Amino acid sequence: MATGTRYAGKVVVVTGGARGIGAGIVRAFVESGAQVVICDKDEPCGRALAQELPGAVFIRCDVTQEEEVATLLSETICRFGHLDCVVNNAGHHPPPQWPEETSAQGFRQLLELNLLGTYNLTKLALPHLRKSQGNIINISSLVGAIGQTQAVPYVATKGAVTAMTKALALDESQYGVRVNCISPGNIWTPLWKELAASTPDPATTVREGMLAQPLGRMGQPAEVGAAAVFLASEASFCTGIELFVTGGAELGYGGKASREASPGTTPS
């Protein structure tokens, strides 16, 4: 693999980095010349990816456990000496549920991962990022801005990630730390494939997922990775922004008056 220089010498932590969008982000940063720490609970996939990519290491971590996050950061600093970028990608999209089918317990568990996991790593990483005048990239979702049917808890958590990004950008600007987020639309990932398989007609679901974008296809994890490298390396005058990587899915009108199950926009 040819290694570039766009982010050479920098150290990046990517949560949920073992597969899907996270793996695409890991690959993009390695290709830019960075040293990348893959953080994930999926040890087999994480270790396999680290072995494949020179410049990547795997550290198992559950971002909902603050003590594990503290260990992740201490091991990163011990190994590399500094930290330049954190990508908060770890998250989950539950199967479609109408509001009456959801539960407070399930909502709390999703909040722990999608929102508080981002909060945990960000808070503990800030002292290191302030030293390096580094940056934070949160992976939110298009549906946090436009909504999604049968996904009240998920949409709420992602909307909160976007809002937290803006608040953090204001607080951290005095230290030179930039905070931005990426909101993907339909990205073809293992999670999207699993969600489609859980519907009555997976092939139709995938086709609808493709046609939700004016560009007529789903995005690829590598395209989200390219956006992340841009925000970290070149977008030096951007903080508090939400970058849509959606193929234009938020544009135009569409049929919405239906109670039929539809995964809509289900990013990983």
Which helix (H) or strand (E) is 135 found in, with range? Answer: strand 135-139
* Banded pLDDT at 267 (limits 50, 70, 90): very low
Mean pLDDT over 162-185 rounds to 98
Residue 131, C-beta contacts closer than 8 angstroms, at least 6 positions apart: 82
7-50 confidence digits (pLDDT tens): 999 999 999 999 999 999 999 999 999 999 999 999 999 999 99
Q: What is the mean pLDDT of the chain?
A: 94
Distance CA 100, CA 88 (A): 30
Q: Which amino acid is at 264?
A: G
Distance CA 142, CA 97 (A): 18
Distance CA 209, CA 129 (A): 37
CATH architecture of 11-245: 3-Layer(aba) Sandwich (3.40)
Q: What is the pLDDT of residue 256?
A: 73
Active-site positions read: 154
41-98 confidence digits (pLDDT tens): 999 999 999 999 999 999 999 999 999 999 999 999 999 999 999 999 999 999 889 9
State the CB neighbour count (10 A cutoff) for residue 208: 16
pLDDT-above-90 percentage for the chain? 89
Name the nearest CA neighbour of 242 among 177, 171, 169.
Answer: 169
Quick check: 140 and 246 in contact, CB under 8 A? no
Q: What is the pLDDT of residue 3?
A: 67
